[in-house]
Structure 1
Amino acid sequence: MNTYEKQRLENIKKNQEMLLTLGLKATDSTPNEMPSFSSKKREPMRKSLRIRGIKPTKVENPNNLPEDLYTIDYETSRKEKRVPVPYGEIVSLENGQESKDIVKYFKLVAKQFSISVPENNNDDSENKSVSKNSEMEEIKEEFSETSRIKTKLEIDENSTLSKIFKNMKIRHYEANIPITTQRIYSIAFHPNPDTDSILVCAGDKRGTLGFWRLHSSDYIVKDWESIVDGKKHIKTESNPDNKESPKSSKTKNNKIDSSEGHEPDLFSFYPHSETVSCINIPQESPNNVYTSGYDGTIRILDLSHPTSFNQILKLKDDPMITSMELQFYNGKHNSSHPLVWFTTTSGIAGFTDPREPNSKVHSHMFHDNRIGCISTNPKVQNILATASTDRTIRVWDVRHMLSPLDIENETESNPIELQNLDEGGSVTSAYFNPSGDQLATTSFNNIVSVWSFDKAQNKVVDKKFLNHNNRTGRWLSMFRSRWHPNPKFPSCFVVGNMNHSVDIYSGRSMEQISNLKDGSRIKTVPAVNIFHPHLAMIASGNASGKISIWS
């Protein structure tokens, strides 16, 4: 025992003697035993039957409610996903939820917008038009960049565009028309040059294709051609205040005036089981409505015989069609039927000729990632551009892909990549303008670019861009800058704005011409926007399936 331990024991003994002299009981120096704890049985954490994927055998009813108030139908509680229509099968208009009377009325509306072959006798055609309108009215009654010096051309064009889009606003009584039920992905105007009849359609996330026939009181029409020609006359009805007013219709309108509100002519059909990614009604063939969908199909509706959506393409291995483009190829088989180009999520692009047996598909791997847009050059038929999430825009020469259409039994060859343009962010769209000398692109690096395309060299030679917030996020359709499709119209494009408005820019100077907004009535982002092919009119769609017309 060492000295320290001896000293410790002596101190303990002295302390105990002191406690005894004081009449206190000395404490025991031995340590107490630790109490034993009985182990509790732990039960596993409860997981709900829904997470485990098990249907309940019995639903508790503690409050003794009637059975129909507390039982849950697990078979129908979730949104049912429509099964893709088998290849070769048509989708009838009657397959939707519209009543027979509404379908009958839509067929009359569709035939009004169908364009027949011109006849020599003009009087007969006028009589047919009058009888068609009267028939409709009878059935309708039953449903009581950087700063730089602008050139003179740019200054003049900006001035013209400002006059055209001046006082543009929503004229219809309800600012948001529910044309579909889910988020709108695509919109198209019918290219009818008649200002008395406007038809617009939109496709949504669940495969719905909605149509809306506008009343004459829902919009006004500016004579933009007179403004372009240097005339300041605005074509409207005469009124004492010399203000723009809704254009009167030649046909009788039994609905209530727009100032008091009326029920819009809306029709809904279901040509696709998934998202309608694109709608196209070509000016060269205005009777045909082409639609593409995420279900891997492309369908066509003939407005002159509106009975069903006929399938012209069905992809099996890569079923998600993200975009579609129509090309009226001036080759051996020149006709009113276009080549139908498409893109997919795997980076494949291709086309089909609907007149070929079994709709043969000519395709090639254009990108390694998803292709969101494809655009053919309207002036150079063998040139097209693709936009991808790999942050590039690529320009292609596809003459070798098209050669089998002109030369029989020739082996199909791959396209030639002419340029690979890096944009720095995922590119959502790339569209050639009607003249084929400019390419407008939209990307997630928050810029909108206009690339100058030299048709002689078949290459992009210049780039102008502007800053624009394109971060639409998950719940909005991606922004796409779209040109006015009329080559006689001053160069301009339209794109959505995150501040609940619509932007119009000059395609030549990149200057903002107008910012369309209606703060009191438009509370959402109009993400999808498109020009009317012949008029100074814009259709805007939002994430709620609603559409607005600016005129």
Structure 2
Amino acid sequence: MSGSCAASGEEVGSRQRPQVNEYKENETITSVSLRPIQSPVLGKSVKFCLIPFSLCNYKLDQFKYSKSLLEKNSNKEVVLCKKTEIKKICRGILTPNMETTSEAESTLQKSSLDVHTENNKLLPSTSDAVFLSVDVESCQDRDSDGDTTPGLDDFSGLSPYERKRLKNISENANFFASLQLSESAARLREMIKKRQPPKSKRKKPKKRENETGCRRSMRLLKVDPSGVSLPAPAPQPTLVVDANPLLPPGPLEMTPENRDDNNELFKEFLQTWTEMSKTSTVDTENKLSSIKSYKGNLSDMAITEDTVNKVTQGPVSSMALHPSETRTLVAVGAKSGQIGLWDLTQHPKEDGIYVFHPHSEPVSCLYFSPANPANILSLSYDGTLRCGDFSRAIFEEVYRNERSSFSSFDFLAEDASTLIVGHWDGSISLVDRRTPGTSYEKLVQSALNKIRTVHVHPVYRQYFIAAGLRDAHIYDTRHLKPRGSQPLISLTEHTKSIASAYFSPMTGNRVVTTCADCKLRIFDSSCLSSQVPLLTTIRHNTFTGRWLTRFQAVWDPKQEDCVIVGSMDYPRRIEIFHETGKGVHSFFGGEYLASVCSINAMHPNRYILAGGNSSGKIHVFMN
């Protein structure tokens, strides 16, 4: 029987060999068919199972090959294991059970897939692959019931280690299949995807009616300890306090704010200022000097500790020097409405300072009367123009207009009998002081929306210049109309707002303007019947910011062609420029001049310069 089986086996092997996937070098095999190849042997079917064995993705240091496999795989050669002869032949012709065979096939296929997957992860990434072709040798005798399920031991071509490894893989696969991890993961994903219902807002419990309330003050409940309601208090009248109340019309008494009731010292002070009015002024036209001598005189001017003092409480907004040649008298107007008078000849210097409060808002313009230097005229934003008379110790009211705010004024006549007043809303007032009891007013509207400064021509006094927002206009008082007054000449070269515009002090042939575009411009106004050309543009930092008083370039009354202006440069200084744009002189004070002097004034006859800063301090340079 065995010989016949062997003969039949050799005959079948010669007729039909099992189909085996052979390895080709440098060829990557991605899949292997696990379908058993059947070969009829004398009416029987012999099954060949191909087990994939891959060396991809495997690290050699983590796995110990068997000696046979290491010998086969040395030098990266592919060994195709074939088995062409059947070592053991079945003792008898057995008819395999089809169900059992199918179960064995499925088990073997699962094991083969697990082996293939695990080996792909463990073995090194090479292009070589090993396919082990295992021939089923024979079928062992089964139980009497016909159970023919093959075991792992049926693979006689494998080493014991390999058989044990395949057995472990099969057991692990069955264990993980029993855990049903895929079904659990699917259920978990479904639970995560389900949206949780929004949390219901907690309802506040309703307060019970019989619940005891919180304790409250009886004073707040407006009841006395016995529970009787207190009577309602009588309504008190509300007081509306104005930050800057207007002062009453009419004359105001000169009462110093910084002095106690010491009439003797104050009388001496008033007498000094009254006597100064008797001093005759010197004709400055015959005292014009050359630039060289003018520079020499300026270099002799110095500042000391005695010539620096705080006069007013608020920032300095205007300043004037008394024309006296024997005493140095400085008048200061502040943004608080104060007027401070400082006599530098007094020692100690605090004894020569007297502060008055004739206005409720900033004093924007301050001049000594050209006819009587004992009188000082002040104009304020509060709509009042007052004249301080030191001989009578009063501030009389010259002009008042509560409907509009004043910005600047100047004298139309040399005897100070007529004035021109500029308003912030662009209107102009012509005031005549010769009317007894009150002043005559003529109000006209200019072509400007706003007026900052007005200045009268020193020779042809019918002309005056008004500085507006962006333009400066020259008007003729003889052609002013109540509505729609047109300027004689317009200066339109400015790109930003103008702070001031002034004629030169002696001839009026030049006009200097201070603009917020950091430029000082000088125009030729010698011929007012035609266009006024621009002569010089001086680059100068005029950006004082919000907290400092704006710069205003003014002419030196003694020098026709030089202007004085403060500076933002360090160290702090006051500068003088020539009409050609060249710098003439810079006044440095060292430790005595450590702030910006926005408002400056020069003595009309002497070489005395006074500068005021935004804290009310005055700095005086003198010979």
Question: Retained in 1: the 8 A contact 2:521–2:534?
Answer: no
Q: How does 1:98-497 map to 2 (within 5 A)?
A: 98-101=259-262, 105-115=265-275, 157-173=290-306, 175=308, 177-192=309-324, 194-195=325-326, 197-215=327-345, 255=347, 263-306=350-393, 308-318=394-404, 320-328=405-413, 336-356=415-435, 358-389=438-469, 391-401=470-480, 416-422=486-492, 423-434=494-505, 435-455=507-527, 457=529, 460-486=532-558, 489=559, 491-497=561-567
Post-superposition Cα deviations, 1:111-165, rounded to whole Å, max 9, x if no partner, equal 323258979xxxxxxxxxxxxxxxxxxxxxxxxxxxxxxxxxxxx8321221110
Q: CA deviation at 1:447?
A: 1.2
Question: Retained in 2: the 8 A contact 1:453–1:462?
Answer: no
CA distance in 1, matches of 2:264, 2:202: 76
CA distance in 2, matches of 1:97, 1:37: 74
Partner of 1:89: 250
Distance 1:433 1:40, change over 3 A: farther
CA distance in 2, matches of 1:338, 1:519: 43
Q: Which amino acid aligns with 2:366?
A: I
Q: CA deviation at 1:84?
A: 0.5
> What 5-or-longer segments of structure 1 have no aligned partner?
1-16, 42-56, 58-74, 120-155, 216-252, 257-261, 330-335, 402-410
Q: CA deviation at 1:455?
A: 4.7
Q: Which amino acid aligns with 2:408?
A: S
Larger radius of gyration: 2
2:199 to 25, 33, 36: 36
CA distance in 1, matches of 2:581, 2:562: 9
Question: Retained in 2: the 8 A contact 1:185–1:205?
Answer: yes
Question: Retained in 2: the 8 A contact 1:380–1:455?
Answer: no
Distance 1:548 1:106, change over 3 A: farther
CA distance in 2, matches of 1:205, 1:116: 27
Q: CA deviation at 1:493?
A: 1.6
Residue 22 (structure 1) aligned with residue 179 (structure 2): yes
CA distance in 1, matches of 2:384, 2:516: 28
CA distance in 1, matches of 2:589, 2:456: 35
Partner of 1:45: none
Distance 1:537 1:97, change over 3 A: closer
Q: CA deviation at 1:524?
A: 1.4
Question: Retained in 2: the 8 A contact 1:452–1:463?
Answer: yes
Distance 1:104 1:325, change over 3 A: farther
CA distance in 2, matches of 1:274, 1:303: 22
Spell out structure 1 runs of 4+ moving beyond 4 A: 17-20, 115-119, 411-416
Question: Retained in 1: the 8 A contact 2:445–2:483?
Answer: no
Q: Which amino acid aligns with 1:473?
A: G
Distance 1:480 1:34, change over 3 A: same
Q: CA deviation at 1:341?
A: 1.5
Q: CA deviation at 1:490?
A: 5.2
Partner of 1:547: 618
- Number of residue-to-residue matches in the alignment: 397
Distance 1:166 1:116, change over 3 A: closer
Q: How does 1:499-514 map to 2 (within 5 A)?
A: 499=569, 500-507=572-579, 509-514=580-585
Distance 1:414 1:536, change over 3 A: farther
CA distance in 2, matches of 1:109, 1:324: 27
Worse overlay, 178-187 or 426-435: 426-435
Question: Retained in 2: the 8 A contact 1:191–1:282?
Answer: no
After superposition, the CA RMSD in angstroms is: 3.2
CA distance in 1, matches of 2:546, 2:350: 33
CA distance in 1, matches of 2:270, 2:568: 34
Q: CA deviation at 1:34?
A: 3.0
% identical equivalent positions: 24
Q: Determine helix, strand or coil for the equivalent of 2:270.
A: helix
CA distance in 1, matches of 2:408, 2:278: 33
CA distance in 2, matches of 1:348, 1:214: 39
Q: Determine helix, strand or coil for the equivalent of 2:255.
A: helix
Distance 1:464 1:189, change over 3 A: same
Q: CA deviation at 1:360?
A: 2.5
Post-superposition Cα deviations, 1:507-540, rounded to whole Å, max 9, x if no partner, equal 3x33211111223332211110010111111110
Q: Determine helix, strand or coil for the equivalent of 2:292.
A: helix
CA distance in 1, matches of 2:518, 2:594: 22
Q: CA deviation at 1:37?
A: 5.4
Post-superposition Cα deviations, 1:209-250, rounded to whole Å, max 9, x if no partner, equal 1111002xxxxxxxxxxxxxxxxxxxxxxxxxxxxxxxxxxx
Question: Retained in 2: the 8 A contact 1:437–1:452?
Answer: yes
Question: Retained in 2: the 8 A contact 1:452–1:462?
Answer: yes
Distance 1:199 1:182, change over 3 A: same
CA distance in 2, matches of 1:506, 1:22: 103
Post-superposition Cα deviations, 1:31-76, rounded to whole Å, max 9, x if no partner, equal 26335153799xxxxxxxxxxxxxxx9xxxxxxxxxxxxxxxxx99
Q: CA deviation at 1:469?
A: 1.0
Q: Determine helix, strand or coil for the equivalent of 2:301.
A: coil
Question: Retained in 1: the 8 A contact 2:301–2:621?
Answer: yes
Distance 1:209 1:104, change over 3 A: farther
Q: Determine helix, strand or coil for the equivalent of 1:94.
A: coil
Distance 1:275 1:107, change over 3 A: farther
CA distance in 2, matches of 1:174, 1:191: 18
Q: Determine helix, strand or coil for the equivalent of 1:355.
A: coil
Q: CA deviation at 1:339?
A: 1.4
**Which structure carries more relative contact order (alpha carbon 8 Å, separation 6+)?**
1
Post-superposition Cα deviations, 1:347-373, rounded to whole Å, max 9, x if no partner, equal 112221122253232122223322111
Partner of 2:140: none
CA distance in 2, matches of 1:451, 1:498: 24
CA distance in 2, matches of 1:40, 1:328: 86
